[in-house]
């Protein structure tokens, strides 16, 4: 059995012994602020999602007002989950993970607060702009210029902080999370600029579509996946209280991701006028993505096997495990979806929406949530406010989300089959109506779960039972709260 020496400073060592920074390695207050903001966006954006879902069946629900219309709210939902809920949380976790793995405080720690406010104000401005109809027209890159510029500046600032901190580290070895983080910030600073400053304004025609395919998949492959994996790889051994199953495997996963992801974007445009050979390469690469996915799943479950007791006692562990399961399902779904015959069946249907939820929410938002559960009570130095609320959060998320993902997947295949059989388009839409009701209900269940969970974390910060601290508390001391 492979148990390569652990370099994540868990059992025994909270951080490299060389850490001597007077002010501590990380800024508890700043990270908690990020967690609270992330929690807010993670309730806000899915709620917008529930509203747009309800509009499929009740066309006049919040209708008749331009800024609450379906087409204006839809990008608020997508950008809200990707850049609001998920990104705010993982940027906050970056300020925890990077110094702890490097053994030195973050480079230019005072930037943290400007970044926090700049980022969140930009998000608010972005959502208001989209609701007012300022949309750049690039799906998943809809923010107009006055929002994209501050967002890009923030991404570059964090990228500089992360890279310089890694450069100045005292811990000689680089844990895999740092690999993913360094790459995610560099890649995304480039990709975000590409999608927001170049695509909406230049490159006409099918070229624009080919590039858009790359951009939209790079948001997933260059940002959500690597930064999400960085978070999950960091909190997995901590939550499981076991060393990582295999470091080699995690590095195979990293390089496989870097080699195969650049090709896959064009699979959004199978059967389009984009050159046939490009589509074929995209399909092959999509299948190859099973390799990095498999390494992650093997590594995660390998770490947990034999240590399920800790799994029962930690909500961080529970969310990581369920996220890994959805990752396996979602990525197999995504790979097979790229095949021409599957694409013909499912493209343009809600199957695609099911896939994006399974990966973005089911995997990465859930992993970010796991990080939140681990970090929040420890930094607040309080016990989790309520175990019951955490339990509800977990099970409502699992129940609601499983129903939603299954429902969307099935209805997409059903609609595809109907259209292939020659059913009139409108008729195929009418047949989807009951499934949309199920989707809305499942989404509302998830939202309620999220609201309870994040309320729980907020109350933990404010009113959780204070944990007794040792007499002389070291700056970076992390207590061991129950259930987190």
Partner 1 sequence: MNKLVLIAGGSTLVYACLAWMMAVLPGVELSKVPAGPGVQPLTALQSEGREVYVANGCSYCHTQQVRPLNEDKVFGRPSAEGDFTYQTPELLGSERTGPDLTNIGMRQPSSVWQYIHLYNPRAVVSESIMPSFNWMFDVIHQAPAGVTSVPLPKGYAPAHGVVVPSHEAQALIAYLASLKQPPVSEAEAASGDQAMADMASPTTRTSAPASANLAPPVGGYDAAKGAALFTANCSACHQASGEGLPGAFPSLKGDAVVNNDDATKHIHVVLNGLHDAKVGGVVYGSAMPPFAGSLSDVEVADIIDYERSSWGNHGKPVIAAQVTAERGKAK
Neighbours of 394 (CB within 10 A): 20
Contact with partner 1 (CB under 8 A) among 23, 133, 388, 434: 133
Contact with partner 1 (CB under 8 A) among 211, 329, 445, 450: 211
**Residue 229 in contact with partner 1, rule: CB under 8 A:** no
CB of 79 to partner 1, least distance (A): 12
Q: CB-wise, 33 or 74, nearer to partner 1? A: 74
Q: CB-wise, 194 or 294, nearer to partner 1? A: 194
CB of 46 to partner 1, least distance (A): 17
Alpha-carbon separation of residue 189 from 152, 226, 396 (angstroms): 7, 13, 35
**Residue 425 in contact with partner 1, rule: CB under 8 A:** yes
* Backbone dihedral region for residue 113 (phi beyond 0: left; psi -120 to 50: alpha; all else: beta): alpha
Contact with partner 1 (CB under 8 A) among 167, 309, 465, 482: 167
Question: Residue 310 corresponds to which tokens in the numbers above?
Answer: 């800790």
Give just the sign of the alpha carbon dihedral 162, 166, 171, 174.
positive
Q: Mention every residue, 6+ apart, whose C-beta is less than 8 A from residue 15.
A: 9, 25, 99, 100, 103, 476
**Residue 464 in contact with partner 1, rule: CB under 8 A:** no
Alpha-carbon gap, residue 484 to 467, rounded angstroms:
13
Residue whose pair of structure tokens reads 């680089």 in the numeric block:
174
Rule CB under 8 A: which of 89-108 touch partner 1?
none
Q: Kindly give the residue spans of alpha helices, DSSP state H, lying in 171-275.
A: 176-193, 205-218, 225-240, 247-264
Q: CB-wise, 186 or 399, nearer to partner 1? A: 186
Residue whose pair of structure tokens reads 């954006």 in the numeric block:
45
- Angle between helix 28-54 and 70-79 (nearest 10): 150
Alpha-carbon gap, residue 335 to 227, rounded angstroms:
21
Contact with partner 1 (CB under 8 A) among 72, 242, 355, 378: 72
Alpha-carbon gap, residue 88 to 481, rounded angstroms:
24
Q: CB-wise, 9 or 373, nearer to partner 1? A: 9
Rule CB under 8 A: which of 169-208 touch partner 1?
172-174, 178-179, 182-183, 186-187, 190, 199-208
Question: Residue 92 corresponds to which tokens in the numbers above?
Answer: 């906050």
Q: Dihedral of the CA atoms 16, 21, 25, 28 (nearest 10)?
A: 140
**Residue 38 in contact with partner 1, rule: CB under 8 A:** no
Alpha-carbon separation of residue 59 from 48, 52, 55, 140, 337 (angstroms): 15, 10, 5, 24, 30
Q: Mention every residue, 6+ apart, whose C-beta is less than 8 A from residue 335.
A: 286, 287, 289, 290
Q: CB-wise, 33 or 212, nearer to partner 1? A: 212
Rule CB under 8 A: which of 323-352 touch partner 1?
340-341, 344, 348-350, 352
**Residue 210 in contact with partner 1, rule: CB under 8 A:** yes
Q: CB-wise, 44 or 179, nearer to partner 1? A: 179
Find the part of the chain contacting partner 1 (CB under 8 A) among 56-64, 229-237, 439-447, 460-468: 56-64
**Residue 153 in contact with partner 1, rule: CB under 8 A:** no
**Residue 18 in contact with partner 1, rule: CB under 8 A:** no
Residue 326 near residue 290 (C-beta atoms within 8 A): no
Q: CB-wise, 40 or 134, nearer to partner 1? A: 134
Find the part of the chain contacting partner 1 (CB under 8 A) among 108-116, 307-315, 387-395, 421-429: 421-429
**Residue 353 in contact with partner 1, rule: CB under 8 A:** yes
CB of 212 to partner 1, least distance (A): 6
Alpha-carbon gap, residue 98 to 103, rounded angstroms:
8
Find the part of the chain contacting partner 1 (CB under 8 A) among 133-141, 236-244, 454-462, 475-483: 133-141
Contact with partner 1 (CB under 8 A) among 259, 332, 455, 483: 259
**Residue 422 in contact with partner 1, rule: CB under 8 A:** yes
Show the site string, 262-301: x = touches partner 1 by CB under 8 A, - = not.
Answer: xx-xx-xx-xxxxxx-x--xx-------------------
**Residue 434 in contact with partner 1, rule: CB under 8 A:** no
**Residue 128 in contact with partner 1, rule: CB under 8 A:** no
Quote the longest CA-to-CA distance of the chain.
75
């Amino acid at each position: 059995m492979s148990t390569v020496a652990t370099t994540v400073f868990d059992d025994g060592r909270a951080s490299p012994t060389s850490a001597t920074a007077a002010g501590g390695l990380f800024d508890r207050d700043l990270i908690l602020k990020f967690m609270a903001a992330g929690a807010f966006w993670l309730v806000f954006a899915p709620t917008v999602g529930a509203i747009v879902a309800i509009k499929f069946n009740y066309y006049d629900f919040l209708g008749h007002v331009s800024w609450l219309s379906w087409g204006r709210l839809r990008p608020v939902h997508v950008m809200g989950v990707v850049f609001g809920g998920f990104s705010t949380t993982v940027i906050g976790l970056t300020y925890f993970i990077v110094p702890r793995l490097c053994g030195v405080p973050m480079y230019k720690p005072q930037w943290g607060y400007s970044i926090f406010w700049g980022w969140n104000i930009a998000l608010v401005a972005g959502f208001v702009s989209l609701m007012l109809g300022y949309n750049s027209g690039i799906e998943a890159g809809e923010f107009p210029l006055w929002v994209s510029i501050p967002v890009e500046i923030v991404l570059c600032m964090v990228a500089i902080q992360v890279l310089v901190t890694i450069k100045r580290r005292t811990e000689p070895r680089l844990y895999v999370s740092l690999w993913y983080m360094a790459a995610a910030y560099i890649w995304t600073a480039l990709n975000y600029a590409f999608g927001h400053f170049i695509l909406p304004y230049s490159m006409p025609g099918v070229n624009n579509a080919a590039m858009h395919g790359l951009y939209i998949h790079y948001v997933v492959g260059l940002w959500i996946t690597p930064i999400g994996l960085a978070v999950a790889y960091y909190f997995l051994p901590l939550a499981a209280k076991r060393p990582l199953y295999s470091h080699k495997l995690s590095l195979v996963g990293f390089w496989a991701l870097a080699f195969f992801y650049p090709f896959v974007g064009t699979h959004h445009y199978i059967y389009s006028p984009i050159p046939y050979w490009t589509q074929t390469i995209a399909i092959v690469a999509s299948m190859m993505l099973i390799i990095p996915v498999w390494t992650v799943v093997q590594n995660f479950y390998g770490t947990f096997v034999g240590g399920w007791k800790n799994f029962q006692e930690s909500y961080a562990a529970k969310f990581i495990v369920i996220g890994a399961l959805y990752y396996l399902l979602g990525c197999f779904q995504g790979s097979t979806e790229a095949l021409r015959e599957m694409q013909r069946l499912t493209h343009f249907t809600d199957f695609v929406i099911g896939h994006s939820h399974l990966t973005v929410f089911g995997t990465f938002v859930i992993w970010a949530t796991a990080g939140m559960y681990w970090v929040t009570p420890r930094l607040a130095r309080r016990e989790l406010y309520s175990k019951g609320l955490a339990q509800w959060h977990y099970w409502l998320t699992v129940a609601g989300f499983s129903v939603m993902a299954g429902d969307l997947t099935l209805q997409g295949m059903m609609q595809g089959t109907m259209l292939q059989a020659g059913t009139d388009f409108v008729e195929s839409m009418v047949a989807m109506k009951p499934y949309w009701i199920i989707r809305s209900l499942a989404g509302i269940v998830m939202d309620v779960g999220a609201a309870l969970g994040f309320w729980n974390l907020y109350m933990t910060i404010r009113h959780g039972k204070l944990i007794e601290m040792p007499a002389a508390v070291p700056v970076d001391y992390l207590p061991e709260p129950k259930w987190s």
